[in-house]
Amino acid sequence: MEEIKRQLKSTVLVELLASDADANFDASYFAQENPNLPRASWQVAWAEAFLPADGQQLLVDRWEPRPLHHTTFRAAFFMHQWLVGGPLLTSYSTLPGVKPTSMPDRLFDLVPYEPVN
């Protein structure tokens, strides 16, 4: 339990709405740039989930790839060691950093935190 608490201290849940996503959308490309570390040590998306645009249920079970026939959907994933204001790299471009807000209630059950082994 203490290890989970330690992991959660600097972890955020990122949720984004993807529109007109094509085959280039790849959650494994999501990373937060950290100028103090080599690229191989940057934090990446963890325990991603895919939801329809309304965000009310999962499109596929956790750990399953996104269904390619959905081009508009929500992606939610955890990012450890979040740097507030730091940019987020995607398979398309770099998104500006944002300040975390409270996790929406609907995501507590849909996208629970999965501890890193």
Regarding pTM above 0.85, the answer is: yes
Instruction: Quickly state the pLDDT bin for 20 (edges 50, 70, 90).
Output: very high
To which H or E segment does residue 16 belong? strand 12-18
Which sign, positive or negative, has the C-alpha torsion 113, 5, 10, 105? positive
Contact predicate 79/32, CB 8 Å: yes
pLDDT of the residue at 78: 94
Average pLDDT, the chain: 90
Q: How far is CA 21 from CA 29, 77, 100, 101, in A?
A: 14, 17, 24, 25
Instruction: Quickly state the pLDDT bin for 65 (edges 50, 70, 90).
Output: confident
Q: For 42-49, what is the mean pLDDT?
A: 94
List the chain domain ranges: 2-110
Q: Which amino acid is at 117?
A: N
Instruction: Quickly state the pLDDT bin for 100 (edges 50, 70, 90).
Output: confident
